[in-house]
Structure 1
Amino acid sequence: MSTRHQSRIADFQDVLREPKIALGKLRELSFSGIPCEGGLRCLCWKILLNYLPLERASWTSILAKQRELYSQFLREMIIQPGIAKANLGVSREDVTFEDHPLNPNPDSRWNTYFKDNEVLLQIDKDVRRLCPDISFFQRPTDYPCLLILDPQNEFETLRKRVEQTTLKSQTVAKNRSGVTNMSSPHKSPAPNSLSEYEVLPNGCEAHWEVVERILFIYAKLNPGIAYVQGMNEIVGPLYYTFATDPNSEWKEHAEADTFFCFTNLMSEIRDNFIKSLDDSQCGITYKMEKVYSTLKEKDVELYLKLQEQNIKPQFFAFRWLTLLLSQEFLLPDVIRIWDTLFADDNRFDFLLLVCCAMLVLIREQLLGGDFTLNMRLLQDYPITDVHHILQKAKELQDSK
């Protein structure tokens, strides 16, 4: 370990040791990358995403309260509804009209169960192919949810619920930008069927099952947006970071902590996922156009070339912006980029500059390419050192 790196670790430790965290100083340090040693990144992300307050003395009570709240969500939205499913096993004369699957009341528990299954099937399909280039999400967690696996709770896990349902999931042919398949060509293809995954023994849970539960609870608590394809790519790096925390006391609660950090992050970027807001000033269309207007200011020749070829920003920037670049790079690079994005005090304005920097850094290839080559280049961004991208984005920021 270099002396400079040791010095950076000491700087973070000094800031995090204070009774009240100096947020400005923490942002400044984090912008240049957060060391992974000692769980520093996990702790910093929790602060930068407003999960932990700046006053250290309140951390213990707040964490206990939030983690208990999450357990309550599990009991109310997974375990208890699962008991309704168990009504299939009671005698016919004991089944009330409210309990009956054919009850036409839209507010009935069965109708809610069936609607939840439609959302769950989409979540399940997406989380099973999370980060297929690494095995982490297919491996069992050291901390399966004991509340969920308690044999006293007569219910089916979400995985079994998906396997047992007779509903058919519909293949999503196109995303909102009109481009098929939101996955990145850099990443290996995921298995196509449930049978291609190793079946874990009872009492075990794979990490993807934990992510599935987080997204399901989020969808239940946020019916206005529910679940939109791509949210799995947002929660994945968060959960991976917290679930690999070297501090076991933090790692044990990765699920609950990820849920609240994801919820806070979504509160800031959820407009990107709401189609009705696309053309508003807070919507994704405005942000994509902002990438091009920034490019025009910084490199008018490249801007005119893309305009001449009718390469619209939604052809590539939609995915870049909506998913915070989580599908353009391998997971370690995504995590490094997110250090900087979470530290941005203007909340993701820097992401627009990062996207602009990505264009500028391949300008020679873009200037020399035709429409087909350039589209392929932009939809499958060449593997590069993300530090160069972040450095170029900082240069663009400083030149304003």
Structure 2
Amino acid sequence: MIVRPGENEENGDVTQGDHPLSINPDSEWQTFFKDNEVLLQIDKDVRRLCPDISFFQQPTEFPCTEVVNSHGVKRLHTRVQRRVLKCANVERKGLGITKIALSVKKATEDYAPMTEGKEAHWEVVERVLFLYAKLNPGQGYVQGMNEIVGPIYYAFSSDPDITFREHAEADCFFCFTNLMSEIRDFFIKSLDESDQGINRMMTRMLVQLKNCDLDVWLRFQQLDLKPQFYSFRWITLLLSQEFPLPDVLRIWDSLFSDERRFDFLLHVCCAMIVILRNQLLEGDFPSNLKLLQNFPPMDVQVILSKAVELSQQKIF
């Protein structure tokens, strides 16, 4: 599944077989390089996961022994490790060079890898996403999936029962795969216009808003404030970026317990707008867009209660 070309070469001469410059479509090296393109994006995304808490930077209690004791060989992030080149600023006066200032710039890395024998939570999430991409080549990895898998992994790896925490990675992969089977249309551009595609979902949300609060809907039409500007992220990422992680878990608890969970998701989105109706009716385009893209902190129970109220109005 995870290709490591050259591992099985019995001698040093690989020119007669597979090698890094091979153009053979079945080449392990070709697969390796293509995988690294995906892995590079995953690595960037998981290092940014939930920056407001330190959980994903902490070591897991149950690291993968085969990986953490491989002297870094089997750690995925080492395949796309960043290299920083030295640079020099040259000041020139007339025809002569007067000064060369050599400097080395290093990017800050908050989510640093663990030492041998340890593994950070973000490394586990990276492995989950990479394996998912390998098992689903038709879809692959799409930026934003990290925001979906993060709360799932956090819930399992924070379980008070140690026997459940021990299997957090496997449980997370199973649940993430099942959830993605329901929301995969959100991440496939060619399906944007399908019944469960993102454009269709945003249209349904706007229709519901029109039925439950015509004044706000008219204000949005007047300002040409399209749902793509704010609700695309809400729906695609299941509100995982709009609230702190504990609030996301509370929202998801209600969301996933509902058989018509995606209808309820739209109710929650509409509730978020209706709750802000006074500010939205008074605001102009920039202020309203900023308000919707940076939803103000509030008790999520208020939002969920309003969503339940809207769901009982049967306005779809």
Same fold, TM exceeding 0.5? yes
Q: CA deviation at 1:154?
A: 9.3
1:108–1:348 Cα change, 3 Å:
same
**Secondary structure class of the residue paired with 2:195:** coil
Name the CA distance, whole Å, in 1 between partners of 2:235 and 2:61. 33
User: Which residue matches 2:93?
Assistant: none
User: Which residue matches 1:276?
Assistant: 190
Q: Which runs of 4+ in 1 moved over 3 A?
A: 85-88, 192-199
Q: CA deviation at 1:219?
A: 0.1
Does residue 262 (structure 1) correspond to residue 176 (structure 2)? The answer is yes
User: Which residue matches 1:131?
Assistant: 50
- Describe how 1:215-254 pairs up with structure 2 within 5 A: 215-254=129-168
Name the CA distance, whole Å, in 1 between partners of 2:196 and 2:8. 46
Q: Report if the CA contact (8 A) 1:219-1:226 is conserved.
A: yes
Name the CA distance, whole Å, in 2 between partners of 1:360 and 1:196. 38
Q: CA deviation at 1:128?
A: 0.2
**Secondary structure class of the residue paired with 2:259:** coil
Does residue 157 (structure 1) correspond to residue 75 (structure 2)? The answer is yes
Q: Which amino acid aligns with 2:76?
A: L
1:85–1:365 Cα change, 3 Å:
farther
Q: Which amino acid aligns with 1:343?
A: S
1:98–1:300 Cα change, 3 Å:
farther
User: Which residue matches 2:216?
Assistant: 302
Q: CA deviation at 1:195?
A: 4.0
User: Which residue matches 1:318?
Assistant: 232
Q: Report if the CA contact (8 A) 1:85-1:155 is conserved.
A: no
Does residue 327 (structure 1) correspond to residue 241 (structure 2)? The answer is yes
Q: Report if the CA contact (8 A) 2:185-2:191 is conserved.
A: yes
Q: CA deviation at 1:348?
A: 1.6
User: Which residue matches 1:6?
Assistant: none
Whichever structure has more strand as a proportion of its residues is: 2
1:344–1:85 Cα change, 3 Å:
farther
Name the CA distance, whole Å, in 2 between partners of 1:99 and 1:194. 37
1:212 corresponds, among 109, 126, 138, to 126
1:109–1:198 Cα change, 3 Å:
closer
Q: CA deviation at 1:194?
A: 6.0
CA RMSD of aligned residues (A): 2.0
- C-alpha offsets along residues 70-128 of structure 1, whole Å, 9 cap, x if unaligned? xxxxxxx23xx23x24468x6543x2544211110122111000000000000000000
Q: CA deviation at 1:197?
A: 3.9
Name the CA distance, whole Å, in 1 between partners of 2:207 and 2:293. 20
Name the CA distance, whole Å, in 2 between partners of 1:267 and 1:198. 32
Name the CA distance, whole Å, in 1 between partners of 2:194 and 2:255. 23
Q: Which amino acid aligns with 1:260?
A: F
Q: Report if the CA contact (8 A) 2:69-2:116 is conserved.
A: no
- C-alpha offsets along residues 174-202 of structure 1, whole Å, 9 cap, x if unaligned? xxxxxxxxxxxxxxxxxx94644444210
**Secondary structure class of the residue paired with 1:340:** helix
Q: Which amino acid aligns with 1:99?
A: D
Name the CA distance, whole Å, in 1 between partners of 2:174 and 2:143. 19
User: Which residue matches 1:147?
Assistant: 66
Q: CA deviation at 1:385?
A: 0.7
- Describe how 1:1-400 pairs up with structure 2 within 5 A: 77-78=1-2, 81-82=3-4, 84-86=5-7, 91-93=11-13, 95=14, 97-151=16-70, 155-163=73-81, 193=107, 195-400=109-314
Q: Report if the CA contact (8 A) 2:72-2:116 is conserved.
A: no
Structure with greater contact order relative to length (CA < 8 Å, sep ≥ 6): 1
Q: Report if the CA contact (8 A) 2:72-2:78 is conserved.
A: no
- C-alpha offsets along residues 39-95 of structure 1, whole Å, 9 cap, x if unaligned? xxxxxxxxxxxxxxxxxxxxxxxxxxxxxxxxxxxxxx23xx23x24468x6543x2
Unaligned runs of 5+ in 2: 85-105
Unaligned runs of 5+ in 1: 1-76, 167-191
Q: CA deviation at 1:280?
A: 2.1
User: Which residue matches 2:90?
Assistant: none
**Secondary structure class of the residue paired with 1:348:** helix
1:97–1:276 Cα change, 3 Å:
farther
Q: CA deviation at 1:164?
A: 6.7
**Secondary structure class of the residue paired with 2:279:** helix
Instruction: State which drifts further: 351-360 or 103-112.
Output: 103-112
Q: Which amino acid aligns with 1:105?
A: N
User: Which residue matches 2:103?
Assistant: none
Q: CA deviation at 1:303?
A: 0.5
Whichever structure has more helix as a proportion of its residues is: 1
Q: CA deviation at 1:279?
A: 1.7
Q: Report if the CA contact (8 A) 1:98-1:109 is conserved.
A: no
